[in-house]
Amino acid sequence: MEAVSPGFSILVADDSEDAAESLAMLLEFEGHQVVIALDGDAALAAAERVRPQIAILDIGMPGATGYEVARRIREAPWGRGMLLIAATGWGQDEDRRRALAAGFDRHLTKPMDATALAASLGTWLAEARARGAS
C-alpha cells in the first residue's frame, strides 16, 4: 500500500469484531488513530465523543443501523464534513442509493478486495484533506 500522510482520526464500526480489528490494523499501520465500535449505538457514541474525520460504517449492525448512524452524524454540526464510508455486504443499486440518501459519501461492498481497499484509502484520505480535515 502506498504511504499516505498520517494523522487522521477514523471510526471503524462493524458487528464483526474480526473485520473491524483487521481494518483498524491496516489503518493504524498507515499511521492513523482508530476507534472501533461493534454496534450502531456504540458507533454513534464514539462518533460524538471522538469526532473523527472519517467513519467507516457497516450497515447491518445491531442497535442503530449504519444508515441511522450516518443520518445522525450528518445532523450534528461536527458531523457534516466527516467523510462517511459504508462498508457492507449489501451491494444492490438500491442499497447504494439508500447509503447516499443517508449521508454516506462512498459505498463499499464486502468482502472488500485488499487491493481495491488500498487504492480507495488514498482517495478517501485525499477527500478528507480537501475538506480541511487534516
C-alpha cell at 49: 465523543
16-28 burial, b if ≥16 CB within 10 A, otherwise e?
eeebbeebbebbe
- What is the chain's pLDDT, residue by residue, as a tens digit (134 residues)? 444 455 789 999 999 999 999 989 988 887 889 999 999 999 999 999 999 999 999 999 999 999 999 999 999 999 998 999 998 887 788 888 999 999 998 888 888 766 666 667 777 777 767 766 54
How many Å separate Cα 77 from the centre of its chain? 18
Q: What is the pTM for the complete model shown?
A: 0.85
